Chains A and B, each alone.
Chain A
Amino acid sequence: MVEQNIYLDNLFGSLADPIRRDILRRLINGRYSIRQIAGNYEISFAAVAKHISVLEKAALIMKERKGKEQIVSIAPQALEDASKYLAQYEALWNYRFDKLDDVLKEI
């Protein structure tokens, strides 16, 4: 059994920048405007906007215009990829333990 949507750390572990990782973690919990996201950091609004643009180009997040604001949300594919990593790790252990079952029958 795989706990859903919680293996994002795995996916995000490959992202070099801690602020980008932090932005992604926040977006797991909801949708925010760029201004709201920027309010969490000491770096400039422009710097945060650039990080968001990097994440968007990597298809990890999506931007949507709502009035004057741009609303940012996590891309469904990013969530899917993250749970896939853990599912594969679990599949590896199931493969091993199925072989171990055979060993136990022989001894």
Chain B
Amino acid sequence: MTKATVTAKPGEPFVTIERDFDAPRDKVFKAFTTKELVEKWWVGPGYKVTIEKLEARDGGAWKFTQIDQEGREFKFHGSFHTVSPGLTIQTFEFDGLPEPGHVSLDKMYLTEKGGKTHMRIESTFMSVADRDGMIASGMEDGMQNTYNQLDEVLKGL
């Protein structure tokens, strides 16, 4: 099975995700830019996604809500700067942080070769701490709790 390659180097505010898909570029692009299709795959173990807005065009906006099994909602939004099959540039922000302004800029390159498509997403964060926070947010609750507990332990010492 094809696996994604995630690269996050220490001390740098970047994450790169690469993956090959056994489909032509137009189809992959469609699966990234069509509301009904994104709702099928932008999910995670134990949560689904509702897409309020997905205006996949230059200057458009997007707004997603993740809902976990306890019904808790996590909202995300951003803007599209450039949308094309070869290159899409957009911003990404998690709305659940104590203060707004932790935005990342994502560039997605799709290249087709022999009917298959290579995807490369380059995310640039505003700081290393923002990047690390984003990686941590992908964790299951149990890990998040461990993380919070560690924080509490350190505060109390």
Give me the interface of A with B, judged by CB distance under 8 Å: 1-3, 6-17, 20, 25, 28, 53-54, 57-58, 81, 84-86, 88-90, 92-104, 107
Q: Is the CB of B140 within 8 A of A57?
A: no
User: Counting CB contacts under 8 A, is B11 at the interface?
Assistant: yes
B116-154 to A contact mask, C-beta < 8 Å, 1/0: 000000000000110111011011100100111011011
B6-22 to A contact mask, C-beta < 8 Å, 1/0: 11111100000101011
Q: List 9 A-B contacts (CB under 8 A).
A: A1-B3, A17-B154, A57-B153, A88-B138, A92-B45, A93-B6, A93-B17, A99-B41, A107-B31
B residues 10-55 near A (Cβ < 8 Å) are 10-11, 17, 19, 21-23, 27-28, 30-31, 37, 40-45
- Minimum CB–CB distance from A28 to chain B (whole Å) comes to 8
Q: Is the CB of A98 within 8 A of B6?
A: no
Q: Is the CB of A10 within 8 A of B136?
A: yes
Q: Is the CB of A14 within 8 A of B150?
A: yes
Q: Is the CB of B4 within 8 A of A100?
A: no
Choose from A20, A25, A86, A97 the contact partner of B135 (Cβ within 8 Å): A86
| Given A88-B143, A89-B139, A93-B17, residue A107 in contact with residue B37 (CB < 8 A) | yes
Choose from A14, A20, A97 the contact partner of B136 (Cβ within 8 Å): A14
User: Counting CB contacts under 8 A, is B157 at the interface?
Assistant: yes
Choose from B6, B21, B132, B138 the contact partner of A100 (Cβ within 8 Å): B21
Q: Is the CB of B7 within 8 A of A3?
A: yes
